[in-house]
Amino acid sequence: MIAILGAMQEEIEPILKSVKEYKEIEYAKNKFYLANYASNELVIAYSKIGKVNAAITATVMIEKFNASRLLFTGVAGALSHGLKIGDLMFATSLLQHDLDITAFGHPHGYVPGIEIFTKTDSDLNDIAKQTAEQKGLILKSGIIATGDIFVCEASKKEWIKDTFKADVVEMEGASVAQVCSQLGVPFFVLRAISDEAGGGAEFDFDEFLASSAKVSADFVLSMVEKL
Ligand code: SAH
């Protein structure tokens, strides 16, 4: 069973459209869609926004639906200059920028038990690179910073970028990464840029959510053909 997880309905809608037929199961106040695609069984869901929602949904996909690999698809804000709206980037590692116990001498983003960064699965990342090559798409890779904040302010953006050398900011990836790595499930996190996380990011987000979400969802589904 392969899990495909997004945070918002818009992020998984293109996948549900492509698989055409699916069965809906309600559990833990969320909906899980079971489908077959390219000889693989899929469990598809959107968690709703934020780290806790994403952690619950990833856990359910693994523990209840027996997902043995998890692919996250969605949109994010760009921190590095090289990333523009619509660009695709997968995470090499992820961190939680809003976990702050610096009062006790720990560095920013320190998570008891896992330190700061969680690395993604290199086999899935290689499959992503092959997929991009075959489709003639540019796929970047880098560090994702996750936190329960929609970043739309220059000073916050610069702080996250400088503190963690992060390329992209969003609100779910690192919590999914923690769940998957602690439960021993290989995972992949892909994001298409919807905004640049500075002043006015909320307007770009609204404008580009659907188109960027589709870029990411279509890519993840192409990866499933190779699994
Ligand atoms: N419009 C939504 C809120 C969107 S929050 C509502 O009203 O309910 C932004 C979502 O997109 C999150 O799931 C997050 O992971 C991602 N995202 C995109 N740009 C972001 C940014 N600049 N900062 C943080 N998260 C961002």
Domains and CATH numbers, the chain: 2-224 (3.40.50.1580)
Ligand 1 centre from 39 Cα, in Å?
A: 33
pLDDT at 215 (0 to 100)? 98
CB atoms within 10 A of CB 29: 8
Residue 100 bears catalytic tag: no
pLDDT at 115 (0 to 100)? 87
> Could you identify the atom of ligand 1 that is nearest to the CA of residue 172?
15
Segment 74-105, tens digit of pLDDT: 999 999 999 999 999 999 999 999 999 999 99
3-state SS record for 144-171: EEECCCCCCCHHHHHHHHHHHCCCEEEC
CB-side neighbour CA atoms (13 Å) of 76: 36
Cβ neighbours of residue 117 under 8 Å, at least 6 residues apart? Answer: 93, 94, 95, 143
Segment 47-77, tens digit of pLDDT: 999 999 999 999 999 999 999 999 999 999 9
Q: For residues 36-52, give the mean pLDDT.
A: 97
For residue 21, pLDDT over 90 is answered with yes
- Strand boundaries in 87-138, DSSP class E: 88-96, 118-119
- Name the band, by pLDDT with cuts 50, 70 and 90, for residue 129: very high
Q: Distance between CA atoms of 223 and 28, rounded to whole angstroms?
A: 28
Segment 194-223, tens digit of pLDDT: 999 999 999 999 999 999 999 999 999 999
Ligand 1 centre from 170 Cα, in Å?
A: 6
Stated as kind and residue range, the H or E segment containing 141 is strand 139-146
Dihedral sign from CA coordinates of 146, 148, 150, 152:
negative
Pull the structure tokens for residue 29.
């106040």
Contact 133, 219 (CB under 8 A): no
Amino acid type, 50: G
State pTM to two decimals: 0.98
Question: Which residue has a Cα nearest atom 6 of ligand 1?
Answer: 49
Segment 143-177, tens digit of pLDDT: 999 999 999 999 999 999 999 999 999 999 999 99
Q: Which is nearest to 125 in space by CA: 93, 95, 92?
A: 92
Segment 104-114, tens digit of pLDDT: 999 999 999 98
Q: Which is nearest to 90 in space by CA: 215, 198, 227?
A: 215
For residue 191, pLDDT over 90 is answered with yes
pLDDT at 12 (0 to 100)? 98
Contact 42, 12 (CB under 8 A): no
Question: Which residue has a Cα nearest atom 8 of ligand 1?
Answer: 49
pLDDT at 42 (0 to 100)? 98
pLDDT at 187 (0 to 100)? 98
Residue 195 bears catalytic tag: yes
Q: Per the residue annotation, which of 10, 167, 170, 195 is the catalytic one?
A: 195
Question: Which residue has a Cα nearest atom 13 of ligand 1?
Answer: 49
Average pLDDT taken over every residue of the chain: 97
Q: Distance between CA atoms of 175 and 181, rounded to whole angstroms?
A: 10
